[in-house]
Amino acid sequence: MLGNNLPSSSDVVQLYRSKGINGMRIYSPNANALNALRNSGIVLVLDTGNGDELSRLAGSASYAASWVQSNVKPYYPAVNIKYIAVGNEVQGGATQSILPAMRNLDGALSRAGLSAIKCSTSVRFDVVANSYPHSSRGGRCQGP
């Protein structure tokens, strides 16, 4: 986890539970955070991270299998991992890695008996054109 003077992972999990927050997202696998989430009931979205990690996951089904064995299997089901987020608001040429990485991870999860965990991704809001009404506007959101 990045930052200075941060509370411990177990303190954060306890805060979530005391406030009735039932979902969390962590932006890369972190053993301390994952261990703190054990048996907490908090639903987790676990990100793969961007950059080299995304490229490796896209380029190798065996790497994706190793990633699942290292970052998911030791914690699930005690940690309620619901989704693997493949990349976070990926930009530029790296976007070409998202779908192959998702396919490799989905296959690795399935082969590991973890098909209840789904793969997804997140995109920057500005790449989504106005979607409603479909014919009203093109491009980015505009005022009335």
Residue 48, in any domain of the structure:
yes
Residue 54, in any domain of the structure:
yes
Q: Report pLDDT for 123.
A: 76
Whether pLDDT at 94 is above 80:
no
> Coil, strand or helix: which one is 61?
helix
Residue 101, in any domain of the structure:
yes
Residue 72, in any domain of the structure:
yes
Range of the domain at 68: 24-123
Residue 118, in any domain of the structure:
yes
Contact call for residues 54 and 91 (beta carbons, < 8 A): no
Task: Tell me how far apart the alpha carbons of residues 5 and 111 are, in angstroms, rounded to a whole number.
Answer: 40
Residue 15, in any domain of the structure:
no
Residue 128, in any domain of the structure:
no
Residue 61, in any domain of the structure:
yes
Q: What is the pLDDT of residues 102-140, one digit of tens each?
A: 999 999 999 999 999 999 998 777 666 655 655 554 544
Domain count across the chain: 1
